[in-house]
A and B are shown apart, each in its own frame.
Chain A
Amino acid sequence: MTLHRGRGMSTIEYPTGMNQNGDPSQAWIKVKPDGRVDVFSGTADIGNGSKTIQSQIVAETIGVPYDWVTFDNSNTDSSPLCTGTFASRATFVAGNAVLKAAREVRGRILEIAGREMEIDPGDLELEDGSVSVVGTPARSMGVDEVAGAATFVHGELLTGDGAHLNPAAEIIDPETGEVDKPPHAAISYAACVAEVEVDDETGVVRVVKLTQAYDIGRAMNPTLLEGQIDGGAVMGLGFGLLEDSYPYYPANEHRGESMNTYHVPGMEGLPAVENVLIENPSTGGPYGAKGIGEMANNAQPAAIAIAIHDAVGVWVTEFPITPERLLAALDREAAGEDQPRREGKRVIYDEHLSVNTVATAKSWRP
């Protein structure tokens, strides 16, 4: 038995939002008479933190403390529509919807405060739950007082709505897949280096270390962001080495049979993971955000496959790279046979969009 070390790198560009766009999100915000803010948005938080992020966007945009904001998506019938939590779109698309609604609410608060203080709303600023006169901070009024006055003096409701839609891009050339407008809300980039140790007798691969770099637009909430990247790394490890959901999509039996036959990585034997985050804000996302959700588990399998090639000189052409597949590949290599191939999905590379955004990102290098 010999242990072989190898190293491989893969890179990825990943779209934010549904492919070809056309995926709306809507939001509605109202302010209660005590100044506390209720956000209604249909985005389901499946653990990705969208409630937190959207509440942060609302608090920041209106200018009230984060804990004044209640995010309600308990009922998708009474909440405005969100196309869904998929395609790494929640922070960008639904975030833009709450951002626009929050801007409107901010304007309404300033409008009522202006009436109360008998001053042009343009001369007011709003921060941390308090409206004050620009240059004369002592002249101020709490958002709770403004909301109380709106309700009981002016007979008005402080509210705002917002919606975001990147219009659907139509394919104008079926041959090349060329579309008539940008097909993605934004594009993120990542690179991953995997260092592996391969046992040529048992076929067991151990990933020793992952080094990853992520262009994440803007770290809206750094701890939640780490959660997405940490989780993605281990999921990517599983896709590379363990997890097989044969028969493949779009077969509708596409799923692991049971926990005893579908292996996911456990807590033990995990590689050390070193991450570099690059804040390269998008032009269209709220506060420069881009999607990170799905991109985080894509680069590892390819990096692992390349590292295995570096270690033992064979290309294993199917995931997951189980010991059986690796040993079979080593045998085929020794016998001078070709490795098997599976027809993959056709990926359309959008040179214009990609080269443009990569070029802009260059000025970001430290």
Chain B
Amino acid sequence: MDLVVNAVSHEVDSAPLTSLLEVLREELDITGPKAGCETGGCGACTVLIDGEPRRSCLTALCMAEGREVTTVEGLGTPEALSAVQQAFIHHYAAQCGFCTSGMIVASSAYVDRGGSPDTGAIQEALGGHYCRCTGYVKILDAVAAVARGDDADTMSTAASPTSSYVSIGGTGNGGGGAA
């Protein structure tokens, strides 16, 4: 069976009902999509199929035949990252990185279809993606920045709409413990 991933056509041997996630990771060694829950619950395996975000763990290989599959690897190159990839770096939107490729793929589809920078709209679009690390704050910031059209070099890291910080303190000596 032929499978087109990131504009490259591959001849694959897996059985037609094998999950697309397994084919990508195990047969083609394209490991951007992560195997989180493998039951459709977390979003870590998200890829684009003809530009639409889809859970590759729930997609049979035969359903992707004749269609364009895009993984996070196909969105930009290390030399020329996509706007969403740049924004994720700029806003520190990844910690462990496990959710990140799914988040970036889904966010790319969101901004490509003209999604708004409104927090509620982004939350709805990415609502099916779990992140264990970030509390979603900086992911929301990154996606909003791209949706607003912020320039990658001048993207603000101004106050987030969902989490704010003030800092107090100085140079004393507290908190003890053995040196």
Contact = CB atoms under 8 A, between A and B. Distances in A.
A280 B177 contact: no
Nearest to A218: B169
- What is the size category of the interface that chain A forms with chain B? 35 or more
A267 to B, nearest CB: 5
A356 B178 CA distance: 13
B168 A277 contact: yes
Contacts of A267: 122-123, 126-127, 129, 131, 136, 139-140
A314 B55 CA distance: 42
B114 interface: no
Interface in B96-124: 96-97, 122-124
Nearest to B134: A231
B167 to A, nearest CB: 4
Contact of B174 (A231, A266, A273, A357): A357
Interface string B87-101: 000001011110000
B132 A270 contact: no
A258 interface: yes
Contacts, number: 176
A201 B42 CA distance: 30
Nearest to B177: A186
A273 B164 contact: yes
Contacts of B42: 259
Interface in A33-58: 46-49
Given A187-B177, A267-B140, A275-B165, A280 B172 contact: yes
B102 to A, nearest CB: 12
21 contacts: A185-B178, A223-B157, A231-B132, A231-B134, A234-B135, A235-B132, A264-B130, A267-B136, A267-B139, A268-B124, A268-B127, A273-B137, A276-B166, A283-B173, A356-B176, A357-B175, A360-B173, A360-B175, A360-B176, A363-B174, A366-B168
Interface of A: 16-17, 21, 46-49, 166-167, 181-182, 184-188, 215, 217, 219, 222-224, 226-227, 229-235, 258-260, 264, 266-268, 270, 272-285, 290, 353, 356-357, 360-361, 363-364, 366
